[in-house]
Structure 1
Amino acid sequence: MDYWCYGLSADDILERIPNTETYTLSSLYPDTLYYFWLSARSQRGEGATTPPIPVRTKQYVPGAPPRNVTVEATSPTTINVSWLPPPVERSNGAIVYYKVFFVEVGRSDSEATVTTLNSTSIVLDELKRWTEYKIWVLAGTSVGDGPRSYPYTV
């Protein structure tokens, strides 16, 4: 059995599997399309191959936080927060939500208010006047939450 990852040159076979009836592949990337094909081998050589069989690995949680997070206080009680999705190669699937956490500086992270949304920006309003907040963001797939961004204070 041979296999190949979508996006590579057709000449870049990733692995040639020894003669066996079953085999478990490991170290594959999440949410990645692979092509597999089989052929019989005998003392006379290798037979014809099957047509390529496409298989996509399952999604996983994002492997990186959202990028380019910006936080800006626009009034004594309002903060604009925006960001870009994690890099595509680290998304590990379709990003289906973001979570924005914010908490007053000096309070425990466990006391943070969490807002879940599917856009890449939010206006935090009705905040305490002249109060510093710590803010961070994470992205999630249908499997779960990825790592959180660096916490920003504003």
Structure 2
Amino acid sequence: VDRQSQFIQGYRVMYRQTSGLQTPSAWQSLEVKVPAERTAVLTNLKKGITYEIKVRPYFNEFQGMDSESKSARTTEEAPSAPPQSVTVMTVGNNNSTSISISWDPPPTDHQNGLIQDYRIWCLGNETRFHINKTVDAAIRSVVIGGLFPGIQYRIEVAASTSAGTGVKSAPQHIQI
């Protein structure tokens, strides 16, 4: 390798996203133009995503063999956007004390990792009327019963990753 290093002009660090997609994304590359350099920092990677990484030496237009691919996952963060399309409606007849809440996940590029659960806040005008609920990430709607007639409730929903709870949805109000 030392004898061949005089023929290495630089390296291409090639990387692509492999998680969160049906097929891996296209390869992106970072040029390392100093042959003696043995490290590179990849910037602007998505949070909580697995990347495949390999290195290719080059000399002018000649390309060397790719290194063995390695996988690395970026650190998760709490979601940076709220769940989308939050809807709240009463369930049953006019005297019902139950509501149905439904939502869609935050946009993919704001999930910042694997969504583990959703937190739902159903807040009345006093703390004794508050009901909070946590549901698994696969669930997209929930019914909350036992609400008090004559009370206005404020409903908010947020997604959570292993790094924490993300941004709450805009409040939805409903009078029971």
Would the aligned equivalents of 1:37 and 1:50 in 2 still touch at CA under 8 Å?
yes
How many Å apart are 1:36 and its aligned residue? 1.9
Say yes or no: does 1:48 pair with 2:65: yes
Which of the numbers 160, 164, 170 marks the counterpart of 1:144? 164
Q: Percent of aligned positions with the same letter in both sequences?
A: 26
Aligned to 1:30: 47
Structure of larger gyration radius = 2
1:87-132 deviation line (CA, Å, top 9, x unaligned) = 2232222211111001124x58xx9532111122222211111211
Counterpart residue identity of residue 55, structure 1: A
1:9-45 deviation line (CA, Å, top 9, x unaligned) = 34xx2422343122332321112232222244579x6
Say yes or no: does 1:59 pair with 2:76: yes
Aligned to 2:16: 5
Would the aligned equivalents of 1:103 and 1:135 in 2 still touch at CA under 8 Å?
yes
Which of the numbers 123, 129, 132 marks the counterpart of 1:103? 123
1:50-87 deviation line (CA, Å, top 9, x unaligned) = 13323232322212211111101234421111112222
Which of the numbers 32, 36, 49 marks the counterpart of 1:17? 32
Return 5+ residue gaps in structure 2 as ranges. 1-11, 18-23
Aligned Cα root-mean-square deviation (Å): 2.6
Q: How many residues align?
A: 149
Aligned to 1:121: 141
Counterpart residue identity of residue 38, structure 2: E
Counterpart residue identity of residue 103, structure 1: L
How many Å apart are 1:153 and its aligned residue? 0.3
Would the aligned equivalents of 1:100 and 1:135 in 2 still touch at CA under 8 Å?
yes
TM-score, normalising length from structure 2? 0.71
Counterpart residue identity of residue 115, structure 1: K
User: Which of structure 1's runs of 4+ aligned residues deviate more than 4 A?
Assistant: 40-43
